[in-house]
Amino acid sequence: MHVDMQTNTIHIDKNSLKHLGICAALGALFGRTGFGAALGIGFYKEYIDKTEAWYHHWCWWDITFDILGALVGLALNTTAQLLIFKHLVY
């Protein structure tokens, strides 16, 4: 996310979309474990960003996209499992 300091406006950038994609992939591939890992990694990355001397920023947009991505991935994983096991059981 980019914050324009002169006008204090917020723009969602490619970094936030990367958060969404990576967390969705983790959730889709590994289910609940991937969901938890995605959230943990997302929060850890923001903590590291906040402590970096050149950045000093906690980005709630990135955290929001982490959560959304993890939820989308978990939904994809659950749907895939239901479709696969439905055909195996019946």
pLDDT, position 8: 46
Residue 4 or residue 38, greater confidence? 38
Model confidence pTM above 0.85: no
- Is 69 exposed, middle or buried (CB count within 10 Å of its CB: 0-12, 13-18, 19+)? buried
Residue 58 or residue 26, greater confidence? 26
Q: Which residues pair with 9 in a beta bridge?
A: 4
Mean per-residue pLDDT of the chain? 84
Cβ pair 25, 70 in contact under 8 A: no
- Fill in the amino acid letter for 70: A
pLDDT of 28-56, one tens digit each? 999 999 999 999 999 998 898 888 877 77
